[in-house]
């Protein structure tokens, strides 16, 4: 797959590296290499999108790598809480699904259903269409030289005029809101996270409304929500901001590490946060705060 096709032995002799990752809606592939070997490496990179090998051995190696990552995630409270939030979402929404992979989901269960994973990957590859892809290339060469190189190497990437997937609904409806869920962490301690569905943050990335809110809610000075909760001896820190980079949905969250006393006053803390949000709403938007963030 990606590693097999791009990360050849010769490439590593020239100081290069490569990797890939998936987000909510995209797959991302990238590499770097010494400048003298840039053209050859870029050619190999392009061929992955034009005619990937997808060998059986590479597929099996990748499944093992994904399973190893999954086992590591099982010991991460952050990953566990993220999956819990997904589990609480609407079962009819893609957000509800298991978002990574394991040996069970990628090997055992598909075999039980008579599926060939390699063939399924080749089917999924048909979703890769030039009209939905973006390429960024950075090198020492002139812009004209890089443009010519890119056009010659990537012109054979198929354009099948695929349409971007659109979620039919939002991941949370009224029945999924106003819930207080308690979970036992792996690492000892108390953590409170309050989340709301909001208009997709990426749609307003230039205006930064969530940045405005996170700046005010996350402020630690006198008179701030954190200052009040800390003075009460209930919290040790506070972070606020938007997550889940998706064109379809986003969540705004306020999280804080609680003291033992704070754990006993969780609902009081939640009440204070909502009172502060109501205060911000009543006070309105101030241009000078946006100017501070520039």
| Same-domain status, 46 and 137 | yes
In a domain, 81, yes or no: yes
The reported pLDDT for the residue numbered 135 is: 97
In a domain, 168, yes or no: no
| Same-domain status, 20 and 150 | yes
| Same-domain status, 36 and 117 | yes
Six-digit token pair at 212? 């405005």
Six-digit token pair at 247? 């064109």
Give the separation between CA 260 and CA 265, rounded to whole angstroms: 9
User: Which of 108, 135, 154 marks a domain boundary?
Assistant: 154
In a domain, 177, yes or no: no
The reported pLDDT for the residue numbered 6 is: 44
Bridge partners for 195 per DSSP: 253
| Same-domain status, 148 and 9 | yes
Whose structure tokens read 């809110």? 213
In a domain, 120, yes or no: yes
Domain count for the chain: 2
User: Which of 98, 128, 154 marks a domain boundary?
Assistant: 154
The stretches in the chain having pLDDT less than 50 are 1-7, 10-11
DSSP tag of 131: G
| Same-domain status, 116 and 33 | yes
The reported pLDDT for the residue numbered 291 is: 85
- 5-46 pLDDT tens trace: 444 554 456 678 888 888 888 899 999 998 888 999 999 999
The reported pLDDT for the residue numbered 4 is: 44
Strand bridging mode 17-22 / 27-32: antiparallel
| Same-domain status, 117 and 19 | yes
| Same-domain status, 141 and 200 | no
| Same-domain status, 122 and 198 | no
Owning domain of residue 206: 189-293
3-state DSSP helix/strand/coil % of the chain, to nearest 5: 50, 15, 40
In a domain, 206, yes or no: yes
Between the alpha carbon of residue 219 and those of residues 89, 210, 226, 238, the distances in Å are: 30, 14, 7, 9
How long is the chain? 294
| Same-domain status, 12 and 148 | yes
| Same-domain status, 202 and 130 | no
| Same-domain status, 214 and 82 | no
Provide the CATH number for the domain around residue 235.
3.30.830.10
DSSP tag of 174: G
The reported pLDDT for the residue numbered 165 is: 83
Q: Report the predicted TM-score, pTM, of the whole model to 2 decimal places.
A: 0.81
| Same-domain status, 8 and 145 | yes
The reported pLDDT for the residue numbered 208 is: 84
Give the separation between CA 128 and CA 170, rounded to whole angstroms: 25
């Amino acid at each position: 797959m990606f590693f097999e096709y791009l990360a050849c032995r010769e490439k590593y002799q020239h100081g290069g590296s490569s990797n890939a990752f998936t987000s909510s809606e995209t797959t991302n592939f990238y590499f770097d290499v010494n400048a003298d070997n840039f053209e050859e490496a870029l050619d190999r990179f392009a061929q992955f999108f034009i005619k990937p090998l997808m060998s059986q051995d590479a597929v099996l190696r990748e499944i093992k790598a994904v399973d190893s990552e999954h086992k590591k995630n099982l010991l991460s409270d952050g990953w566990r809480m993220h999956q819990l939030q997904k589990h609480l979402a609407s079962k009819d929404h893609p957000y509800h699904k298991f978002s990574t992979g394991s040996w069970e989901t990628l090997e055992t269960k598909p075999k039980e259903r008579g599926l060939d994973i390699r063939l399924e990957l080749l089917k999924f590859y048909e979703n890769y269409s030039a009209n939905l892809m973006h390429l960024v290339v950075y090198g020492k060469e002139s812009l004209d030289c890089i443009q010519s190189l890119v056009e010659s190497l990537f012109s054979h990437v198929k354009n099948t005029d695929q349409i971007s997937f659109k979620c039919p609904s939002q991941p949370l409806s009224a029945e999924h809101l106003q819930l207080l869920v308690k979970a036992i962490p792996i690492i000892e301690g108390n953590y409170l996270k309050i989340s709301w569905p909001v208009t997709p943050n990426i749609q307003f990335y230039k205006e930064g409304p969530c940045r405005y809110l996170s700046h005010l809610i996350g402020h630690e000075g006198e008179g701030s929500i954190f200052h009040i909760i800390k003075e009460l001896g209930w919290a040790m820190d506070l972070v606020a901001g938007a997550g889940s980079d998706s064109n379809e949905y986003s969540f705004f969250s306020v999280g804080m590490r609680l003291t033992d006393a704070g754990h006993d006053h969780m609902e009081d803390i939640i009440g204070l946060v909502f009172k502060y949000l109501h205060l911000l709403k009543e006070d309105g938007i101030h241009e000078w705060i946006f100017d501070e963030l520039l």
